[in-house]
Amino acid sequence: MAESYDVVVIGGGAVGENAAGRAVQNGLSAALIERELVGGECTYWACMPSKALLRPGEAVAEVRRTPGAREAVTGSIDVAATLGRRDQLASHWDDSSQLKWLETMDVAWYRGHGRIVGERRVVVEDAEGSRRELEANRAVVVATGSRAAVPPIEGLPEAEPWGSRKATSAGAVPASLLVLGGSNTGLELAQAWRRLGADPVTVVDQNDRLLPALPDFAGELLGESLTAEGIDIRLGGSLTRVARRDNGAISAVLDSGEELEAAELLVATGRKPVTDNLGLEEAGLSPGQYIRVNDQMRAVDAAGDWLYAVGDVTGRNLLTHMGKYQARICADVIGGRETAAWSDHWAVPGVTFTDPQVAKVGLTEAAAKDHGISVRTVEHPFGAVAGAATQGEGIKGRCQLVVDADRRVVVGATFVGPGAGEQLHAATIAIAGEVPLERLWHAVPAFPTLSENWLRLLEHYGL
């Protein structure tokens, strides 16, 4: 006899949890199926532990920028304390508090592998092999996330490289680190382990520049900072061969023929969807692909109207906060509200939590032009306001606003500088709220704060 819920969510990462919780808040009954730890990658092996590894280095750099405070830093980062704090922020890889939250929210949870076995029907199989069948009166929501994609490089699997899971949960600092893939994962973890003592740290990426989807200055400024602290960045190439030597060291051959050696190799070359062994064929979908969704998060290629997908598994903005936004939209749609995930296209915020941080929301100049928008951009040095001077010496960086010149609203913003991520939400509000420049002009930034960058940018625009 199947147990029956309005909504059955497969995958209990941050996104699945939010979909189930919001469904209950909307007056529906919901069940969540998770085969590993409720909380998913973000909680245990991605966002939280990586930020915990970065924070001590960032805090020390902040203090070192400030005369009077810098003299108080006489030692080096305490690795054991950093890893201890990391373990704490990763909830010691224990999901009991997440389970408590589900219970408080009245979400039923099942530990096991979820698989669709027919229209609105899902089977959960636990580790012992016992099976329970769940029936979804209204919808099945797939929130099974993503896993690391490993490129086909000779010797790579046998060399047992680090993936993001190992690189965020390691119990000791590697003597040296080679990072393949220089995007958010690779750059954050390269800097984290460098500042914790790995030396040398080398980053290899096939692109000709860092962060190519952002304005040029973002990758350039970040690259300069990382290079200055001893991270060797090799762009425009990859590895052709990898081996782990008898002494445990990694040997890697670049496509230029040069051989690099490191204690560990981190592979951070992107993600692929977790859609295998999920029974997607029951809804007419192919396994192994991202699940295409519309702005109501309904799986557009699925037969019927009962299958939804949210989070990384959709391939749309692989970011926790965007997945959670999709989850809220999805649960509202299932609950009968008319709504759409339009922010997914126009106002996606993202922060690379390196030092300096790279924070961007909305469209770049190039993307805005592609959308036929008549664009004007304005820029200002991040550190050229009194708020930066009070924070310390030598604060560098850049800010940029992308403005729709016809509608006189901001459509994109990028900030590069220490702590730039905290500047971002003002831009997200301006973009999502379509606040006219004439109105923004009256949003006065307090003195002396870094937010005065907004005033300078608007002055450059001519206000």
Ligand X SMILES: Cc1cc2nc3c(=O)[nH]c(=O)nc-3n(C[C@H](O)[C@H](O)[C@H](O)COP(=O)(O)OP(=O)(O)OC[C@H]3O[C@@H](n4cnc5c(N)ncnc54)[C@H](O)[C@@H]3O)c2cc1C
Q: Is 182 annotated as a binding residue?
A: yes
- From 6, 34, 365, 404, residue interacting with ligand X (rule: CB under 6 A): 34
Which amino acid is located at 13 in the chain?
G
Binding mask 182-201 for ligand NAD (x = CB under 6 A): xxxxx-x-------------
Q: Provide the minimum distance between the beta carbon of 84 and ligand NAD in the complex, in angstroms, as a whole number.
A: 22
- From 95, 264, 282, 312, residue interacting with ligand X (rule: CB under 6 A): 312
SS (H, E, C) the chain: CCEEEEEEEECCEHHHHHHHHHHHHCCCCEEEEECCCCEHHHHHHCHHHHHHHHHHHHHHHHHHCCCCCHHHCCCCCCHHHHHHHHHHHCHHHCCHHHHHHHHHCCCEEEECEEEEEECCEEEEECCCCCEEEEEEEEEEEECCCEEECCCCCECCCCCCCECHHHHHHCCCCCCCEEEECCCHHHHHHHHHHHHCCCCCEEEEECCCCCCCCCCHHHHHHHHHHHHHCCEEEEECCCEEEEEECCCCCEEEEECCCCEEEECEEEECCCEEECCCCCCHHHHCCCCCCCCCECCCCEECCCCCCCEEECHHHHCCCCCHHHHHHHHHHHHHHHCCCCCCCCHHHHCCEEEECCCCEEEEEECCHHHHHHCCCCEEEEEEECCCCHHHHHHCCCCCCEEEEEEECCCCEEEEEEEEECCHHHHHHHHHHHHHCCCEHHHHCCCCCCCCCCCHHHHHHHHHHCC
8 Å CB contact between 341 and 297: yes
Q: Does 169 bind ligand NAD (CB under 6 A)?
A: no
Q: Is 12 annotated as a binding residue?
A: no
Binding mask 90-129 for ligand X (x = CB under 6 A): -----------------------xx---------------
Q: Which of residues 235-294 bind ligand X (CB under 6 A)?
A: 274, 278
Q: Does 328 bind ligand X (CB under 6 A)?
A: no
Q: Is 144 annotated as a binding residue?
A: yes
Q: Is 185 annotated as a binding residue?
A: yes
Between residues 200 and 270, which has the closer beta carbon with respect to ligand X?
270
Q: Is 145 annotated as a binding residue?
A: yes
Q: Does 82 bind ligand NAD (CB under 6 A)?
A: no
By a kind-dependent CB cut-off of 5 to 8 A, residue 114 interacts, out of ligand NAD, ligand X, none, with ligand X
Q: Provide the minimum distance between the beta carbon of 110 and ligand NAD in the complex, in angstroms, as a whole number.
A: 27
- From 143, 170, 221, 239, residue interacting with ligand X (rule: CB under 6 A): 143
- From 120, 271, 298, 316, residue interacting with ligand NAD (rule: CB under 6 A): 271
- From 8, 9, 15, 179, residue interacting with ligand X (rule: CB under 6 A): 15
Q: Does 52 bind ligand X (CB under 6 A)?
A: no
Q: Is 87 annotated as a binding residue?
A: no
Q: Is 146 annotated as a binding residue?
A: yes
Between residues 204 and 307, which has the closer beta carbon with respect to ligand NAD?
204
CA-wise closest residue to 174 among 204, 156, 158, 194: 194
Q: How far apart are CA 197 and CA 76, in angstroms?
A: 9
Q: Provide the minimum distance between the beta carbon of 274 and ligand X in the complex, in angstroms, as a whole number.
A: 5
By a kind-dependent CB cut-off of 5 to 8 A, residue 143 interacts, out of ligand X, ligand NAD, none, with ligand X
By a kind-dependent CB cut-off of 5 to 8 A, residue 180 interacts, out of ligand NAD, ligand X, none, with ligand NAD
Q: Is 372 annotated as a binding residue?
A: no
Q: Does 268 bind ligand NAD (CB under 6 A)?
A: yes
8 Å CB contact between 107 and 30: yes
- From 8, 12, 383, 426, residue interacting with ligand X (rule: CB under 6 A): 12
Q: Does 14 bind ligand X (CB under 6 A)?
A: yes
Q: Does 218 bind ligand NAD (CB under 6 A)?
A: no
Q: Which of residues 398-437 bind ligand NAD (CB under 6 A)?
A: none
Between residues 218 and 375, which has the closer beta carbon with respect to ligand X?
218
Q: How far apart are CA 371 and CA 393, in angstroms?
A: 40
Q: Which residues are annotated as a binding site for FAD?
A: 51, 114, 144-146, 312
Q: Which residues here bind ligand X, judged by CB under 6 A?
A: 10-16, 33-36, 40-42, 46-47, 50-51, 113-114, 143-146, 164, 168, 185, 274, 278, 311-312, 318-321, 323, 353
